[in-house]
């Protein structure tokens, strides 16, 4: 997760009312593809109070993320995962293994496997 921390902090610095006066960031919803999905996971795990939900497409849970899984900050946070059944960059079994790290069945949707969601 440490590899994604600088990008997470940079995105939080960008997503402020001073930069976007009309925006409401109290319930931010993130969608990420590949490493963007890993960034969305990172942001959810580091500061779950600011993130309402995430959708992770063809991504993975970053190494070390399981140490950050805390039920109180993740309770009720929907996570949608879609992954390509033929992805050769991030095999679907890696995404499935990582998603099970949440250990909160109500939190994570079953992985939706599609032939065309690949890296």
Residue-wise pLDDT for 7-49, tens only, equals 999 999 999 999 999 999 888 999 999 999 999 999 998 888 8
Query: How far is residue 11's CA from residue 51's CA, in Å, rounded to a whole number?
Result: 12
pLDDT of res. 11:
94
pTM greater than 0.85: no
pLDDT of res. 88:
79
Find out whether 54 and 40 touch, Cβ atoms under 8 Å. Answer: yes
Q: In what order do the strands lie in the sheet with 28-33?
A: 28-33, 51-57, 79-84, 112-114
Flag whether pLDDT at 92 surpasses 90: no
Of 90, 72, 89, 73, the C-alpha closest to 81 is 90
**Could you state, in order of their start, the residue ranges of all structural domains in the chain?**
28-114
Confidence of residue 58 (pLDDT cuts 50, 70, 90): confident
Q: Which two tokens stand for residue 35?
A: 């490493």
pLDDT of res. 5:
95
CATH class of 28-114: alpha beta
């Amino acid at each position: 997760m440490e590899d994604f921390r600088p990008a997470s902090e940079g995105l939080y610095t960008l997503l402020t009312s001073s930069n976007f006066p009309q925006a409401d960031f109290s319930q931010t919803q993130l969608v990420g593809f590949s490493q963007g999905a890993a960034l969305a996971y990172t942001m959810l795990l580091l500061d779950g109070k600011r993130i309402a939900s995430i959708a992770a497409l063809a991504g993975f849970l970053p190494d070390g993320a399981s140490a950050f899984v805390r039920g109180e900050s993740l309770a009720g946070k929907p996570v949608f995962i879609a992954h390509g059944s033929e992805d050769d960059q991030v095999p679907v079994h890696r995404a499935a293994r990582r998603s099970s790290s949440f250990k909160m069945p109500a939190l994570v949707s079953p992985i939706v496997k599609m032939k065309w969601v690949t890296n």
